[in-house]
């Protein structure tokens, strides 16, 4: 896809030519016959207004088809400032404006998670970018909130429904305080650059991320951490839906890298129109039927401001992480076979998800556990291979390693579950893989994970002992 | 200082790609073989008294498979009768050489060997097919024909099971490829350790969880006699992209291969997604997803000088064919235009248009220029939905005895 006008403005003699060899400037819009300004798909050109109709239709039909948003509902929109979420914001603004043919029926609130600490530097450039994002959010006129990825270390998990019914304690344990969400207010205050995240917290998070040995595990960990923070913010602010702006290209990459990281059972949750694995909060992906180029084109044609924030693997080699490799793979294939992205996304559309109402969920990503597999399984085969190639008698060296693997949980409760092997029991296959590459102390991990793991193990123990325990130990290690 | 074997006191000679553990030769052999044994026992692949045909190409996987099967059959008393079965695709400079290896293996392992060839089964060698179709899509022919060739060979030998040397890398690759191609039915099947159970010869993959690297290591240290050249006709296969991706993934995280298999095993398909039903091919009576199996469609295309018939969308190629025939017919003024080429066919096919079928059949011509072309011309058998009935109503009884048919008859008789 390319913008025809770009070429003309440059005064280039070479007119853009489609793959079929015919000149594109001459070809009219496939809808109305007006001169086309851009080419989508293979060689269909669109004029500007028909392209807008096309994009808006894809966005609205995704919302409409799903029938998930009720009239007048308020939703939280995750806004990173990047191309996709900027386009989503613009589409929402446009759909709510008076000139829209049928106005959208929901009310958005924006939330930005500042992830600048991942890069490990604090620079004026980053501060300027932050300020620009803040300005865009305020200018939108929607209520806007700001938080930092560091806060994910402090959030407390909601009690699982099972323990909630037993202990009718605090109504909302997810809120020790609400200081971690900053209301940006309505008035644009030009010189108020958002603060750098608190230094100590940033260090803590950076150390934690660095304790994962590979970029693959780091990216996977950050991804899940971000999602959990979004969920916590939505719960805190009383939202039941979060809109995120993954394009189809992004989703295609996600589908393949999910599969490559053992998250096959989660593909449909991770990439479908909605994701209900987190209790009470649903993720929705309303621009999933538009690809990255269409959204970028939309931004460029309609002058949408975007802010580029570098990620962990920006400007690294293609082999630096599975996600980075997959991105290169998909975009490369897409260039040769233009149906690649839609093929992949369509495949995932036919996949069913696990039952999200199950109680045995991963303590981190909240997906139903996929580790209860039969004897003939990949997991079983790996365990057997390990059994075959490791000594039957534990030698002193190996034993020592195992001890350092599992220190006693640091906050004084002498529960054995914070040791790594126990923790892994409460995680799904994919999260286990990431944690496998973690060589830090388990006390560095976010409370969220360790708390949930603790509960899940207690639940399991309780189930095993049911009938022998007398009703009294409910509150033993409940809320920390 | 040399690293010690994790299992005994010898020096380690290798690091296992699968688990990262260092092992000495003997411990590695033992671990590798016992893991295969474990897979066979856990999945209940064989029962005593089975006659097992080992698909042998002469390559590393099948050579190691033949060796391991023999070792395990003796060690654990499976009570199996093992036979080697090779398929000769007729690829000069590749298969003829690798078959020499299989013949040597036959003597080394003292197992009976049978070779079936494409030429005797289909009347075409791969060399001749590539001459027709070129170096693109040729792997489709080879793959489809081989599947059936193995089945036919095994039946002839009275085998009750077929084992193939597909390893973990192959399966991971297939998972990725089926995602890329959007083939949900195969995506669901491809991680199964045994396929084709009901009524047909079950095929098993005992190496499903064995890394290709470990198989190569095993063959290397055991100094097994195998043939290691890439097929001369395969460089353009789409599979190559998936293969490169898998290899790159393995470099980043060695466990990725087994992780992909785990993903494949834990995928579930939505209940409302329509799955193609497995039936029996109406021509050759072999298992098929369509009325007529892919092998028969491909073969028909070859025999009629339309090699692209079974590649991509069959109905498109059929339409082109019909148009060509129509043109010829009108040029010779034998008939009035037989095929209009427009999309209204007046026989209910308009309904098919809605389903994206786009067939342009005219059923009026009594001479039936389409011959067998009629039988799945409507939607190319790709199951685009909703046109099955129409297709059947439109189908005319095939009247002509065509070459493809005779060939198929001949080969059914064996």
Which chain A residue has its CA at the smallest distance from B168's CA? A378
* Alpha-helix residue ranges (DSSP H) falling in B190-276: 212-221, 239-252, 256-266
Whether A319 and B265 lie within 8 Å, measured CB to CB: no
Mean pLDDT lowest among A13-27, A305-319, B45-59, B324-338: A13-27
How far A393 CA lies from chain B's nearest CA (Å)? 9
How far A149 CA lies from chain B's nearest CA (Å)? 27
Choosing among A328, A376, A390, which should be mutated to test the B contact, i.e. which has the most B CBs within 10 A? A376
Whether residues B215 and B361 fall in one domain: no
How far B180 CA lies from chain A's nearest CA (Å)? 5
Which among B23, B179, B182 has the least Cβ separation from residue A389? B23
Whether residues B247 and B385 fall in one domain: no
Which among A256, A376, A389 has the least Cβ separation from residue B179? A256
**Is B177 in a helix, a strand, or coil?**
helix
Residue A181 has pLDDT above 80, yes or no: no
Q: How many residues does chain A have?
A: 480
- pLDDT of amino acid A229: 93
Domain boundary among B205, B231, B266: B266
Whether B252 and A214 lie within 8 Å, measured CB to CB: yes
Residue B191: which domain range?
47-266
Residue B278 is assigned to a structural domain of this protein:
no
Whether residues B91 and B219 fall in one domain: yes
Residue B24 is assigned to a structural domain of this protein:
no
Task: Show residues of chain A in contact with B184, CB under 8 Å.
Answer: 347, 350-351
- pLDDT of amino acid A3: 56
Residue A268 has pLDDT above 80, yes or no: yes
Please give the residue that has the higher pLDDT: either B30 or A194.
B30
Q: In this structure, are strands B22-23 and B14-15 parallel, antiparallel, or unpaired?
A: antiparallel
Residue A476 has pLDDT above 60, yes or no: no
Chain segment B23-46, per-residue pLDDT in tens? 999 999 999 999 999 999 999 999
Please give the residue that has the higher pLDDT: either A7 or B239.
B239
Residue B70 is assigned to a structural domain of this protein:
yes
Task: Show residues of chain A in contact with B38, CB under 8 Å.
Answer: 381, 384
Which among B18, B180, B182 has the least Cβ separation from residue A385? B18
Residue B19 has pLDDT above 80, yes or no: yes
Whether residues B191 and B57 fall in one domain: yes
Residue B5 is assigned to a structural domain of this protein:
no
Task: Show residues of chain A in contact with B270, CB under 8 Å.
Answer: 268, 350-352
- pLDDT of amino acid B290: 82
Which among A319, A370, A384 has the least Cβ separation from residue B248? A319
Whether residues B140 and B243 fall in one domain: yes
Mean pLDDT lowest among A343-352, B98-107, B379-388: B379-388
- The average pLDDT across B388-398 equals 37
- pLDDT of amino acid A262: 93
Chain segment A6-38, per-residue pLDDT in tens? 544 444 444 444 444 444 555 788 888 787 787
HEC per residue, chain A? CCEHHHHHHCCCCCCCECCCCCECCCCECCCCCCECCEEECCCEEECHHHHHHHHHHHHHHHHHHHCCCCCCCEEEEECCCCHHHHHHHHHHHHHHCCCCCCCCCCEEEEEEEECHHHHCCCCHHHHHHHHHHHHHHHHCCCCEEEEEHHHHHCCCCCCCHHHHHHCCCCCCCCCCCCCCCEECCCCCCCCCCCCCCCHHHHHHHHHHHHCECCHHHHHHHHHHHHHHHHHHHHHHHCCCEEECCCCHHHHHHHHHHHHHCCCHHHHHHHHCCEECCCCCCEEECCCCCCCHHHHHHHHHHCCCCCCCCCCCCCCCCCCCCHHHHHHHHHHHHHHHCCCHHHHHHHHHHCEECCCCCCCCECCCCCCECCCCCCCCCHHHHHHHHHHHHCCCCCCHHHHHHHHHHCCCCCCCCCCHHHCHHHHHHCCCHHHHHHHHCECCCHHHCCHHHHHHHHHHHHHHHHHHHCCCCCCCCCCCCCCC
In the structure, what pLDDT confidence band is assigned to residue A157 with cuts at 50, 70 and 90? low
Percent with pLDDT over 90 in chain B: 39
Whether residues B236 and B383 fall in one domain: no
Choosing among A248, A264, A322, A339, which should be mutated to test the B contact, i.e. which has the most B CBs within 10 A? A264
- pLDDT of amino acid B256: 94
In the structure, what pLDDT confidence band is assigned to residue A434 with cuts at 50, 70 and 90? very high
Whether residues B221 and B347 fall in one domain: no
Chain segment B145-165, per-residue pLDDT in tens? 988 899 889 988 999 999 999
Which chain B residue has its CA at the smallest distance from A320's CA? B252
Residue B291 is assigned to a structural domain of this protein:
no
Scanning B256-295 for CB atoms below 8 A from A yields: 256, 258-271, 273
**Is B209 in a helix, a strand, or coil?**
coil
Which among B181, B182, B270 has the least Cβ separation from residue A352? B270
- pLDDT of amino acid A298: 94
Whether residues B100 and B194 fall in one domain: yes
> Which helix or strand (DSSP H or E) is residue B287 part of?
strand B287-288
Residue B83 structure tokens: 């036979």
CA distance B256 to B259: 5
Whether residues B229 and B97 fall in one domain: yes
- pLDDT of amino acid A471: 59
Whether residues B237 and B359 fall in one domain: no
In the structure, what pLDDT confidence band is assigned to residue B236 with cuts at 50, 70 and 90? low
Task: Show residues of chain B in contact with A268, CB under 8 Å.
Answer: 270
> Which helix or strand (DSSP H or E) is residue B61 part of?
helix B60-75
Whether residues B239 and B381 fall in one domain: no
Whether B180 and A344 lie within 8 Å, measured CB to CB: yes
Residue B374 is assigned to a structural domain of this protein:
yes
CATH code of B159's domain: 3.40.50.620
Residue B186 is assigned to a structural domain of this protein:
yes
- pLDDT of amino acid B220: 93
Mean pLDDT across chain B: 78
Residue B319 is assigned to a structural domain of this protein:
yes
Domain boundary among B241, B266, B291: B266
- pLDDT of amino acid A41: 66
Whether residues B220 and B96 fall in one domain: yes
CA distance readout (Å), B23 to B33, B68, B237? 14, 19, 36
Please give the residue that has the higher pLDDT: either A92 or A375.
A92
- The average pLDDT across B67-76 equals 95
Map out the domains of chain A with their CATH numbers: 1-46 (no CATH), 52-349 (3.40.50.620)
In the structure, what pLDDT confidence band is assigned to residue B334 with cuts at 50, 70 and 90? low
Domain boundary among B266, B299, B322: B266
Whether A382 and B255 lie within 8 Å, measured CB to CB: yes
Assess contact for A249 and A292: CB atoms under 8 A: yes
Task: Show residues of chain A in contact with B214, CB under 8 Å.
Answer: none
How far B258 CA lies from chain A's nearest CA (Å)? 6
Mean pLDDT across chain A: 79
How many separate domains does chain B show? 2
Name, of A93-102, A196-205, A270-279, the range with top average pLDDT.
Answer: A270-279
């Amino acid at each position: 896809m390319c913008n025809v006008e770009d070429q003309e403005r440059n005064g280039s003699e070479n007119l853009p030519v489609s793959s079929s060899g015919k000149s594109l400037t001459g070809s009219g819009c496939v809808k109305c016959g007006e001169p086309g300004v851009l080419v989508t798909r293979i060689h269909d050109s669109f004029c500007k207004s028909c392209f807008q109709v096309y994009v808006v239709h894809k966005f609205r039909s995704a919302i409409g088809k799903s029938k998930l948003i009720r009239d007048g509902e308020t939703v939280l929109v995750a806004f990173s400032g990047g191309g996709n979420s900027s386009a989503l914001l613009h589409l929402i603004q446009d759909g709510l404006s008076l000139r829209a043919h049928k106005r959208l029926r929901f009310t958005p609130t924006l939330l930005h998670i500042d992830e600048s600490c991942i890069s490990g530097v604090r620079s004026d450039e980053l501060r300027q970018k932050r300020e620009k994002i803040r300005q865009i959010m305020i200018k939108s006129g929607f209520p806007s909130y700001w938080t930092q990825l560091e806060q994910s270390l402090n959030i407390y998990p909601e009690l699982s429904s099972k323990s909630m019914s037993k202990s009718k304690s605090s109504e909302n344990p997810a809120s020790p305080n609400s200081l971690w969400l900053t209301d940006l207010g309505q008035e644009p205050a030009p010189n108020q650059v958002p603060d750098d995240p608190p230094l100590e917290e940033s260090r803590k998070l950076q150390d934690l991320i660095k304790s994962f040995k590979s970029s693959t595990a780091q990216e996977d960990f950050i991804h899940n951490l971000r999602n959990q923070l979004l969920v916590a913010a939505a719960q805190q602010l009383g939202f039941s839906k979060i809109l995120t702006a993954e394009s189809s290209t992004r989703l295609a990459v996600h589908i393949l890298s999910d599969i490559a990281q053992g998250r096959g059972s989660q593909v449909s949750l991770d990439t479908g129109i909605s994701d209900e694995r987190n209790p009470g909060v649903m993720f929705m992906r309303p621009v999933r039927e538009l690809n990255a180029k269409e959204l970028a084109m939309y931004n460029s044609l309609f002058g949408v401001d975007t802010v580029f924030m570098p990620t962990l693997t920006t400007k690294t080699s293609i082999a630096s992480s599975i996600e980075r490799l997959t991105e290169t793979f998909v975009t490369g294939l897409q260039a040769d076979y233009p149906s690649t992205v839609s093929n992949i996304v369509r495949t995932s559309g036919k996949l069913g998800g696990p039952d999200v109402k199950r109680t045995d969920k991963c303590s981190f990503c909240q997906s139903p556990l996929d580790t209860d597999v039969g004897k003939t399984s990949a997991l079983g085969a790996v365990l057997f291979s390990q059994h075959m190639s490791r000594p039957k008698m534990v030698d002193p060296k190996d034993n020592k390693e195992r001890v350092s693997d599992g220190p006693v949980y640091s906050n004084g409760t002498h529960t054995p579950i914070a040791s790594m092997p126990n923790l892994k029991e409460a995680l799904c296959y994919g999260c286990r893989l990431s944690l496998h590459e973690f060589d830090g102390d388990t006390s560095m991990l976010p409370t969220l994970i360790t708390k949930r793991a603790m509960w899940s193990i207690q639940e399991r123990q309780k189930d095993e002992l049911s009938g022998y325990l007398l009703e009294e130990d409910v509150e033993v290690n409940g809320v920390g | 200082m040399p690293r010690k074997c994790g299992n005994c006191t010898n020096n380690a000679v290798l690091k296992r790609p699968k688990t990262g553990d260092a092992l000495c030769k003997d411990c590695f052999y033992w671990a590798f073989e016992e893991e295969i044994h474990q897979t066979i026992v856990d999945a209940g692949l064989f029962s005593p008294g089975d006659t097992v045909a080992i698909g042998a190409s002469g390559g590393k996987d099948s050579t190691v498979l033949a060796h391991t099967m023999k070792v395990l059959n003796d060690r654990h008393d499976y009570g199996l009768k093992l036979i080697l079965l090779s398929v000769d695709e007729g690829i000069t400079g590749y298969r003829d050489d690798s078959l020499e290896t299989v013949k040597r293996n036959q003597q080394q392992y003292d197992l009976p060997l049978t070779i079936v060839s494409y030429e005797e089964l289909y009347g075409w060698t791969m060399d001749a097919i590539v001459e027709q179709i070129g170096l693109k899509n040729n792997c489709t022919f080879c793959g489809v024909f081989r599947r059936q060739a193995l089945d036919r060979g095994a039946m002839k030998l009275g085998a009750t099971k077929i084992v193939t040397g597909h390893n973990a890398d192959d399966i991971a690759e297939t998972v990725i490829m089926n995602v890329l191609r959007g083939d949900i039915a195969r995506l669901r099947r491809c991680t199964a350790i045994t396929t084709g159970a009901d009524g047909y010869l079950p095929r098993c993959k005992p190496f499903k969880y064995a890394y290709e690297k470990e198989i190569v290591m095993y063959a290397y240290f055991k100094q097994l006699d195998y043939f290691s050249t890439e097929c001369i006709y395969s460089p353009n296969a789409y599979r190559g992209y998936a293969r490169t991706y898998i290899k790159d993934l393995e470099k980043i995280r060695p466990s990725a291969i087994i992780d992909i298999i785990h993903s494949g095993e834990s995928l579930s398909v939505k209940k409302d997604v329509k799955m193609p039903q497995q039936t029996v091919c109406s021509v050759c009576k072999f298992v098929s997803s369509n009325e007529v199996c892919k092998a028969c469609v491909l073969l028909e295309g070859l025999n009629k000088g339309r090699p692209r018939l079974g590649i991509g969308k069959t109905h498109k190629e059929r339409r082109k064919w019909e148009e060509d025939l129509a043109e010829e017919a009108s040029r010779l003024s034998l008939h009035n235009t037989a095929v209009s080429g427009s999309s209204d066919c007046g026989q209910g096919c308009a309904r098919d248009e809605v389903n994206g079928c786009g067939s342009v059949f005219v059923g009026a011509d009594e001479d039936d220029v389409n011959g067998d072309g009629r039988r799945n011309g409507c939607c190319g058998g790709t199951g685009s939905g909703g046109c099955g009935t129409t297709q059947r109503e439109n189908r005319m009884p095939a009247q002509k005895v065509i070459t493809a048919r005779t060939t198929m008859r001949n080969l059914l008789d064996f």
